[in-house]
Structure 1
Amino acid sequence: MFESTKVGRSVSKDDFKEQQEALRTELLSAQRDLKDSDIPVIVLISGVEAAGKGEVVNRLNEWLDTRGVQTFAFWDETDEERARPRYWRFWRSMPPRGEISILFGGWYQTPIEHRFQGHCSDAELDGELNRIVDFERMLIQDGALILKFWFHMSEDDQKARLKELSRDDKSRWKMLPDKSKFSEQYAAFEQVAERVIRHTDRGVCPWYLVEAEDRRYRDLTVGKTLLHAIRSRLAEAPSDSIRSSSGSPELPSGANAQITLLDQLDLSLSLDKDTYKAEMKRLQTEINELAWSAYNKKRSTVLVFEGVDAGGKGGAIRRITTAVDARLYRTIPVAAPTDEEKSHHYLWRFWRHVPRAGYITLYDRSWYGRVLVERVEGFADDAEWRRAYSEINRFEEQLVDSGVILLKFWIHISQDEQLRRFKDRENVPYKRYKITDEDWRNREKWPQYKDAINEMVVRTSTKHAAWTLVEGNDKPYARVKVLKTVCDTVREALKRDPEPTAGYLPCGEKRPDEGKKGSNGKSES
């Protein structure tokens, strides 16, 4: 694979000077045009050690307007990053539409290093590479342009470059521990790199192999490739929405033929006042104790609350938050996306709030808006909401694989009960803010929402993230069921260690709760 990067390509100083001036001008022009588009550009910089990755990035920042470029390095991890799912750090580096992010190594660096260092098998590496392919496909389907550069050179050229760098006090190479492993095991590293590149080299997201021995050739090649990719993408006409089958059968007419999962709920279930008070006191005491146990064991919890308007989401959330120490949780109310959020993939704003190990995040509405309100109201086209089911499933799988305790609640009420609550809100001064014109409009689309909810539950109730459907006509019953489900699930999760799916924690990466055990049996991590 790498033979083409060892043929001795080079560019003279005069040719470089002449081409650089024109290239820089064109890159700045393309960058200005990009700013007015809805295209985020992600540039991944990888390759063998001493190939000049830092020099390339410095050159790009020299040629481009740095006000529209952000650079991220992933060769070390902060405590904040270690306390969250691995992809959290990458989502934070995603550029808004019209801008560029340059990523050193990106999501490839850790899998390559772990396989090279023998911390995992080829099969485990392939599992993580499959996740990467899905991740890149999701970004591309949302409109991102991804360019992946791999810089390579011969073993002799690398040794000469390493010798040169060893004399440079400013070289990152000189600061690395265990430097000899790369130079002494060139063939082994090259073999791992070839496996990674072949596995993830796809037509929609190819790798660009660049010969790195001659710096001028290397830099011009990257600049011209970036320019061509941006220009080509800007020249593309907006693609038509992809029309495809939803995967759900077309139902015949007739009331009994249109029954959904929601119709199976017994909305007459209720609790008497004394039972409610006793259960609530017991459950709130337990949930507070469990929250502290999860904190001590560094197990984070994500609670998702969805439901029809006036279904009782806020009431259920308050029964949890009033019982738990305020230092342990955050409640994220989800409304229409801001301009900043619209400039990113729709999952970006939810990744931002994923809790660090030991803490709790409660989402009052969530990423399921893509397949509910955005689907029904036409804010997302068919292609966007149809592919969201698999994107959401992969997102939730990553959370659970990293040790997050994830619970999802759909709180449901009847149309008659919703109408009663709407009128009650209009008549009570301190509740009026809860009722809006949008709530009444949504009520008119009850059948469409019911179908969307049914498909959502069918497609996203998985082994790792099942839905809990809550009968909500009686508020006390609904609140007790929510708290009991939370207590039961968290209690069981804390009894066992998290069991990540092969390939998520790439090649032996440790989970937050896998620190060294002290003499008292508690984690010292």
Structure 2
Amino acid sequence: MVSEYKPDFPEDADFEKLIDKYGEELGVLQREAHELDIPIIIVFEGWYDVFIGEVINRQLLPLDSRGFDFHFTDAPTSEENKIPFIFRFSQKIPPKGKIAVFDRSWYMRGLIEHLLNDSDIFGCSNLSKKSNIEAIFTEPANKEIINSPKFERMIKTFNDFEKTLSDNGTYIIKIYLGARKETREESHKIWKKIMPYNIDKRSTEKIYKKDIHVIKEVIEKTNTEYAPWNLYFVDKNIDEVTAGTMQIITQQIKKAIFDVKSKRALEENSVCALPKQNLIKTEGPLDLVDLSKSYTKKEYKEKLKKYQKKLAFLHYSLYLNKKPMVLVFEGWDAAGKGSSIKRIVQAMNPRYYRVIPTGSPTDVDQKYHYLWRFLDGIPPCGKTSIYDRSWYGRVMVERIENFCAEDEWKRAYDEINHFEKVMTNDGVIVIKFWMHISKEKQYERFVARSLNPLKQWKLTDEDWRNREKWDDYYAAVNEMIEKTSMKDAPWVIVEANDKYYARIKVLKTIVERIEEELGSKMEEMDFPVIGD
């Protein structure tokens, strides 16, 4: 149960002095959080007739403008509307040491866009004339809406998003500014004097009564230990509201600073050495692969022409149907990821695809959650992104080489599943390939590369070092496939000892998946493709 936040102000409080006091304190806390590399998100939600903009502005004035970003969440732009909903906000998360302030957020936009899609059945219950906190949190909610699968997916998306941020050190402060009936009526009078038009139709009593049940349910279901709500009812005195919300923010930033200092003190007193990986090679998906599969050169050429022609047609169909696709390529060094990608893009129009090679994170990347650097590559409607290496580095190379803590890579399985679920829930086709070869075949290809002047650049000292940890990587890959292969985003293990067989399996898998997704029976067109 979410309870109302009531500031501990004396009866004769001088709110102007309190605002100055909290303002000075906020400035000090901002600098301390910056020095400790603490990212902070402050979310303001509430009705448009509670002076929310003025309240937020008063919070920002004491802050150093270099240390915060302000985001007003309005209707999505045409470009934002082409990517999965929550990724609009993922792109705006603050780096370490910075504050992001949201005037409305994923909550209001999620509700509004949900309303627009289900306007015929949304909010059909009425709220009683009671306007106190007990009435709002005891009225029966609109079951038709809040029990719908779409509503539940929305709530899970919000909670997964916030938990991922919280687990990786971001502190989230959520404030909902509520308004009792008399306050709303008074603010309406003030707004009518200032504005000659109705600034927001959702501020009417009629809409308020319809929506309050669903809002109540959203607040209850997203009031989590890692991101709790602060429910603050606005009075007519804007100075009091400002001081009250400032008190909430200062208290929670103090708590964030205390938590970080305590955690670091414990870490300094513990053993600093990272534990050595002792992975046991147990049987898993990789052990079931038949690496003897192959095609003759003649078979390969015939099948290559067939599937590239189909892919050319289907890739254009994806564009026409505004269906995005993500292809993820992981695998052993020298397993043929690059050559398989080459045969894919030979059949595609470069206007509608993008190949994204993934290297080590930059200094800027390391200031954000590790998934942040992959957001820019998520394709808009009708486009395709091909990742040559991906976010799975967290549970492979970063795990094996101790580039991240054990708790970080262990929780990454769920974070990755949430990340991909966001995509598939929004209609993105996700196909993940693990290019699998034997240890002996890898050595054979390494030697061949070292002897070929045109391919020597592909072989690095790091490739040889990784080979020494083959068994560790083998066990990690088995675990990765088992924990992150989902129905809508499955892993496809490609038998890649024979390069011909591998390329055809990749092409065939993509073609069949697109056909399944589109369910299209359009007559094929004669698309020209570049042969092998």
State the SS of the aligned residue for 1:380: coil
Tell me, yes or no, if structure 1 residue 184 matches structure 2 residue 212.
no
The one-character-per-residue Cα deviations of 1:83-102 (angstroms, maximum 9, x if unpaired) are 11111101111111111111
Tell me, yes or no, if structure 1 residue 228 matches structure 2 residue 251.
yes
- Who is 1:166 aligned against? 192
Tell me, yes or no, if structure 1 residue 445 matches structure 2 residue 444.
no
State the SS of the aligned residue for 1:490: helix
Q: Is the 8 A contact 1:6 1:153 kept in 2?
A: no
Identity of aligned residues (%): 36
In the TM superposition, residue 209 of structure 1 has moved relative to its aligned partner by 1.5
The alpha-carbon distance between structure 1 residues 259 and 7, as it changes in their structure 2 partners (threshold 3 A), is closer
Between 1:465-474 and 1:68-77, the stretch displaced more is: 68-77
State the SS of the aligned residue for 1:339: coil
- Who is 1:21 aligned against? 20
- Who is 2:36 aligned against? 37
The alpha-carbon distance between structure 1 residues 17 and 325, as it changes in their structure 2 partners (threshold 3 A), is same
In the TM superposition, residue 148 of structure 1 has moved relative to its aligned partner by 0.3
In the TM superposition, residue 466 of structure 1 has moved relative to its aligned partner by 1.0
In the TM superposition, residue 305 of structure 1 has moved relative to its aligned partner by 0.3
The alpha-carbon distance between structure 1 residues 2 and 361, as it changes in their structure 2 partners (threshold 3 A), is closer
The one-character-per-residue Cα deviations of 1:407-431 (angstroms, maximum 9, x if unpaired) are 1000011111111111222222232
Give distance in 2, aligned partners of 1:147 and 1:154. Answer: 23
Which AA in structure 2 matches 1:129? Answer: I
State the SS of the aligned residue for 2:50: coil
- Who is 2:233 aligned against? 211
- Who is 2:52 aligned against? 53
Q: How does 1:38-187 map to 2 (within 5 A)?
A: 38-113=37-112, 114=114, 118-119=121-122, 121-124=145-148, 125-169=151-195, 174-176=198-200, 178-179=201-202, 182-187=204-209
Aligned length: 481
State the SS of the aligned residue for 1:258: coil
Q: Is the 8 A contact 2:325 2:383 kept in 1?
A: yes
- Who is 1:433 aligned against? 457
Q: Is the 8 A contact 2:19 2:242 kept in 1?
A: no
In the TM superposition, residue 71 of structure 1 has moved relative to its aligned partner by 1.5
- Who is 1:238 aligned against? 263
Give distance in 2, aligned partners of 1:338 and 1:8. Answer: 46
Which 5+ residue runs of structure 1 have no aligned equivalent? 243-249, 498-525
Give distance in 1, aligned partners of 2:2 and 2:299. Answer: 71
Between 1:475-484 and 1:266-275, the stretch displaced more is: 266-275
User: What TM-score, normalized to structure 1?
Assistant: 0.86
Which AA in structure 1 matches 2:232? Answer: V
- Who is 1:351 aligned against? 375
In the TM superposition, residue 238 of structure 1 has moved relative to its aligned partner by 2.3
State the SS of the aligned residue for 2:185: helix
Q: Is the 8 A contact 1:303 1:363 kept in 2?
A: yes
The one-character-per-residue Cα deviations of 1:460-509 (angstroms, maximum 9, x if unpaired) are 11111111100111111101110111111111111179xxxxxxxxxxxx
In the TM superposition, residue 35 of structure 1 has moved relative to its aligned partner by 1.6
The alpha-carbon distance between structure 1 residues 277 and 2, as it changes in their structure 2 partners (threshold 3 A), is closer
Between 1:205-214 and 1:323-332, the stretch displaced more is: 205-214
Between 1:201-210 and 1:189-198, the stretch displaced more is: 189-198
Q: Is the 8 A contact 1:375 1:385 kept in 2?
A: yes
Tell me, yes or no, if structure 1 residue 323 matches structure 2 residue 322.
no
Give distance in 2, aligned partners of 1:2 and 1:183. Answer: 23
The alpha-carbon distance between structure 1 residues 263 and 126, as it changes in their structure 2 partners (threshold 3 A), is closer
Q: Is the 8 A contact 1:306 1:411 kept in 2?
A: yes
In the TM superposition, residue 20 of structure 1 has moved relative to its aligned partner by 2.7
Between 1:429-438 and 1:155-164, the stretch displaced more is: 429-438
Which AA in structure 1 matches 2:243? Answer: L
In the TM superposition, residue 6 of structure 1 has moved relative to its aligned partner by 9.8
The one-character-per-residue Cα deviations of 1:308-328 (angstroms, maximum 9, x if unpaired) are 111111111111112211111
Give distance in 2, aligned partners of 1:484 and 1:459. Answer: 25
- Who is 2:329 aligned against? 305
In the TM superposition, residue 399 of structure 1 has moved relative to its aligned partner by 0.8
State the SS of the aligned residue for 2:382: coil
State the SS of the aligned residue for 2:204: helix
- Who is 1:279 aligned against? 303
Which 5+ residue runs of structure 2 have no aligned equivalent? 123-143, 271-277, 522-532
State the SS of the aligned residue for 1:291: helix
Which AA in structure 2 matches 1:154? Answer: R
Q: Is the 8 A contact 2:2 2:220 kept in 1?
A: no
Which AA in structure 2 matches 1:419? Answer: Y
The one-character-per-residue Cα deviations of 1:271-305 (angstroms, maximum 9, x if unpaired) are 11111111112211211111111000000110000
Which AA in structure 2 matches 1:202? Answer: T
Which AA in structure 1 matches 2:163? Answer: R
Give distance in 1, aligned partners of 2:345 and 2:35. Answer: 43
The alpha-carbon distance between structure 1 residues 260 and 203, as it changes in their structure 2 partners (threshold 3 A), is closer
Q: Which runs of 4+ in 1 moved over 6 A?
A: 5-12, 239-242
Give distance in 2, aligned partners of 1:342 and 1:371. Answer: 16
- Who is 1:194 aligned against? 216
Q: Is the 8 A contact 1:303 1:361 kept in 2?
A: yes
Give distance in 2, aligned partners of 1:8 and 1:68. Answer: 29
Q: Is the 8 A contact 2:2 2:229 kept in 1?
A: no
- Who is 2:530 aligned against? none
Give distance in 2, aligned partners of 1:37 and 1:6. Answer: 30
